[in-house]
Amino acid sequence: MREFKILIVEDEEVTAEILGQYATRVGPEIKFDWCWNGLEALACAEKVRPDLILMDYMMPKIDGLEVVQRIRREDFAKAAYIAVVSAYVNEKKQEEFKEAGADEVMLKPVSYEQLKEVIQRAKNKQKKAKKA
Predicted local confidence at residue 94, as pLDDT: 95
Count of H-run helices and E-run strands, the chain: 5, 5
Predicted local confidence at residue 79, as pLDDT: 85
Q: How confident is the model at residue 129 (pLDDT cuts 50, 70, 90)?
A: confident
Rounded to the nearest 10 degrees, how much is the dihedral formed by the CA atoms of 15, 17, 18, 24?
A: 140
Instruction: Name the residue type at position 44.
Output: C
Predicted local confidence at residue 93, as pLDDT: 93
Query: Residue 32: which CATH number?
Result: 3.40.50.2300
Mean pLDDT of 48-67: 95
Task: Please give the Cα distance from 54 to 47 (Å, whole number).
Answer: 16
Distance linking the first and last C-alpha atoms of the chain: 21
Can you give the length of the chain in residues? 132
pLDDT over 70, % of the chain: 99
Q: How confident is the model at residue 11 (pLDDT cuts 50, 70, 90)?
A: very high
Domain count, the chain: 1
pTM above 0.75, yes or no: yes
Q: Within 13 Å, how many C-alpha atoms sit on residue 18's CB side? A: 15
In tens, the pLDDT along 21-34 reads 999 999 999 999 99
Domain extent, residue 15, equals: 4-131
Mean pLDDT of 116-128: 93
Mean pLDDT of 73-99: 92
